[in-house]
Amino acid sequence: MEISNRLKSIPPYVFAELDKKRQAVVARGVDVINLGIGDPDQPTPAHIVQAMQEALKNPVNHRYPPFGGTKEYREAAAKWCRERFGIDINPDTEITSLIGSKEGIHNIIHAFVDPGDYSLIPDPAYPVYKSSTILAGGTPYGMPLTPENNFLADLDAIPAEIVKKAKILFLNYPNNPTGAVCDLAYLEKAVAFARKNDLLFVHDLAYSEMTFDDYKAHSVFEVPGAKDVAIELQSLSKMHNMTGWRIGFAIGNSYAIKALAQLKSNIDTDVFRAIQMAAIAAFEGPRTEIERCNALYKVRRDIAVAGFRRLGWKVEPIKATFYMWLPVPTGMTAAEFSTLMLEEAGIVVPPGTAYGAYGEGFFRMSLATDKARLIEVFERMEKHSITFDRNAVKA
């Protein structure tokens, strides 16, 4: 038998491949510290788990849920958006449930992109933007995110002939993998760009609540008129430590939401009703655990900043996400450095090229590991002389 050309057109999922390499090193008896995948190491808050346990006892919740999410879930999500961002979302026409934002990314592309169409995506970026565009028969166009542009895509630099062929624009702030943030003025510019060029603007806001140092992330719908051209993807994965629960939602332009919901109704049967009830408890519950986790990540961030500076890196503290995006030592490729870290120090860090061509020369590090292990990371790097200027020292 032979797999489809569609599947042949995309590489294996980066985190699956990284895990294979990690397992091979573990099999040799190495104590590996995994700073690869962005999976919170803290448990789902107790009040959410309790709501799930109660919901499981009701046989009504064991049946198929309604398409697009229960009325209660949509209303709770819309209320949370109003309280958090000051925006009004119609729970009947401007919101649909998602089985996590990853699924939403994939399906919104399939709802709007035909063969020959372009998707405008950040580079580096979450790999699903690119792979799902290719699976839909479209062509991804990478908008470079570089230190020179503060990792903000330069929309004016996109060639006019590419823009004419584009159907969809993806942005993601707070950003994975770079940790970059944007202000409201940047989102205003993106909305204007989408309106001018008849694009659907998809803002991936999966890290909206993981912020530090008084920074608060913005919803695109804080921009007047954004509903004319935009939708926004939200996820409970990071904000409530619910990565395995697989639940999120999309809000915004009613036409786009309807199209996304229509496609999904032909593919999945929505989120288990008991999980939706647990998510309602998350929306309505206190922010105590969010704030506790953010304080925890801030401590880890500061440990990492100090550790990298001690080893020769010039690094500034991130304001959001639990990712640090750092240059590899001079004279090394991203893949070489990733291999060095794993083979010599037993530390998993993804090479920047896993997120796009403009990721060359960088690596990503997740802060989803406890303080003691994080301190050990820098002890191991120092022991194995893994410093920013290691090649200059050898020369």
* Domains of the chain, residue spans: 5-43+288-394, 46-284
- Rounded Cα distance between 187 and 193, Å, is 10
- Rounded Cα distance between 168 and 154, Å, is 16
For 27-41, 102-116, 136-150, which range has the lowest pLDDT when averaged over its residues? 27-41
Confidence of residue 21 (pLDDT cuts 50, 70, 90): confident
Of the candidates 85, 48, 319, 54, the residue with the CA atom closest to the CA atom of residue 182: 319
Each as own residue / partner, the long-range contacts of residues 3-10 (CB below 8 Å, 24 or more positions apart, any chain) are: 6/135, 9/134, 9/135, 10/131, 10/134, 10/135
Distance, C-alpha 60 to centroid of its chain: 33
Provide the whole-model pTM: 0.95
Confidence of residue 308 (pLDDT cuts 50, 70, 90): very high
Confidence of residue 267 (pLDDT cuts 50, 70, 90): very high
**pLDDT surpasses 80 at 300:** yes
Strands (E), 126-221: 139-144, 166-171, 200-204
Say which DSSP state 206 is in.
T
* pLDDT tens for each residue of 207-236: 999 999 999 999 999 999 999 999 999 999
Q: Which CATH code fits 5-43+288-394?
A: 3.90.1150.10
Task: Enumerate the β-bridge partners of residue 81.
Answer: none
pLDDT the model gives residue 395: 43
Q: Which residues contact 91 (CB under 8 A, 6 or more apart)?
A: 71, 74, 75, 77, 78
- Do residues 290 and 68 make contact, with C-beta atoms less than 8 angstroms apart? no
Q: What is the CB neighbour count within 10 angstroms for residue 332?
A: 17
151: left (phi over 0), alpha (psi -120 to 50) or beta: left
Q: Which CATH code fits 46-284?
A: 3.40.640.10
Whether omega for the bond prior to residue 122 falls within 30 degrees of 0, making it cis, is no
pLDDT the model gives residue 56: 98
The token duo for 3 is 């797999």
pLDDT the model gives residue 392: 61
Instruction: Give me the mean pLDDT over the 245-250 stretch.
Output: 98
Instruction: Give me the mean pLDDT over the 67-77 stretch.
Output: 98
Looking at every residue in the chain, the average pLDDT score rounds to: 96
Confidence of residue 30 (pLDDT cuts 50, 70, 90): confident
